[in-house]
Amino acid sequence: MSTQAETVALPPRFRWRRVSLRLGDFPLIPTLILAGVAFVAIFANVLAPHNPEVGSLVARFKPPFWETGGSAKYLLGTDQLGRDVLSRLIFGARVSMVVGFTAVIFAGVIGTALGILSGYLGGWVDQVIMRLTDTWLALPALTFAIFLAAIVGPSMWNIVIILGITYWTRYARVIRGEVLSLKEREFVRLAIVAGCSKWTIMRRHILPNVINSAIVLGSLMLGVVIITEATLSFLGVGVPPPQPAWGLMLSDGKQGLMVGRWWLTVFPGCCIMLMVLSANLLGDWLRVKLDPQLRQL
């Protein structure tokens, strides 16, 4: 809202929403946590006290510093190869952030594009895309992702692609529904009368109006995607071993559980939990604020 004249021109309902977006019950703590994880991920090289992939075998299974046998050198202890848990957690944040955001964006781009095409063009295009979406939804997503990951082999970018082609369906469904109602609106009809091509209408008039919903869905998908990445890594088909990923750390830590090496499972799990919880809280808030249509979702 830059000038007074613009503010007056806005319909009252819209203005109210803008105001509540700023004041409202903004989820401060989740936002701070996500920002913190992003900060740690970006500056992992500077923040991590040790190399996350190289350990010293003489310092295996050191507990956190406050337990007997722990040292200030390894604040959160070491794992079975003597690697520093704290450094691995810090670099693991980078993996989770990169995989989470790129996969959500990738799925969003596929889903939104197909949703707009399906909704605006209608006819056989709509039929084909919707049948495809139904088929995809009929598959058990997790099992399907595991299957794909088992074929293509473990690598971080393979995981991004797999998550993208597993989770685009929710975007396609919701966006198509929105486009169906948008295309009956005045401004789209006027654009047709003005002689805009279908491509221009979809790009210039439909896309900007569905981008809000896509962002809300994306924020809600972030948690799901991060959990799926951790699950794939946990099962050994995700991020390959020397790299530090939280799911992989849990899978390594599983062996030490019965002899009481709790720090190898509790810390990475807490990181996943905090990040997913924050993403879900932020997503819920965005959903209520940005998009009344999605409230009952």
**Residues 243, 248: Cα–Cα separation, whole Å:** 9
Selected from 11, 123, 140, 208, the binder of another protein by CB under 8 A is: 140
Selected from 26, 61, 65, 262, the binder of another protein by CB under 8 A is: 262
For residue 84, what are the β-bridge partners? Answer: 78
Distance (Å) of CA 52 to CA 64, 163, 255 = 16, 25, 20
Q: Are 239 and 248 in contact (CB under 8 A)?
A: yes
**Residues 272, 230: Cα–Cα separation, whole Å:** 8
Q: Name which of residues 147 to 206 contact another protein (CB under 8 A).
A: 147-148, 150-152
The region of 3-11, 20-28, 34-42, 226-234 touching another protein under the rule CB under 8 A is: 226-234
Return all residues near 250 (Cβ < 8 A) that are at least 6 apart.
230, 234, 265, 268, 269, 272
Residue closer to another protein (CB basis): 82 or 236 = 236
Selected from 114, 227, 245, 248, the binder of another protein by CB under 8 A is: 227
Selected from 7, 56, 71, 135, the binder of another protein by CB under 8 A is: 135
Residue closer to another protein (CB basis): 134 or 198 = 134
Selected from 216, 281, 282, 286, the binder of another protein by CB under 8 A is: 281
Tell me the closest approach of the beta carbon of residue 38 to another protein, in angstroms. Answer: 18
Distance (Å) of CA 97 to CA 3, 45, 136 = 37, 15, 26
**Under the criterion CB under 8 A, does residue 272 sit at the interface with another protein?**
yes
Dihedral sign, Cα of residue 215, residue 139, residue 202, residue 102? positive
**Under the criterion CB under 8 A, does residue 134 sit at the interface with another protein?**
yes
φ and ψ at residue 43, rounded to 5 degrees: -100, 30
Binding residues for another protein, rule: CB under 8 A, are 131-132, 134-135, 138-140, 142-144, 146-148, 150-152, 223, 227, 230-231, 234-237, 250, 253-254, 257-258, 260, 262, 265-266, 269, 272-273, 276-277, 280-281, 296
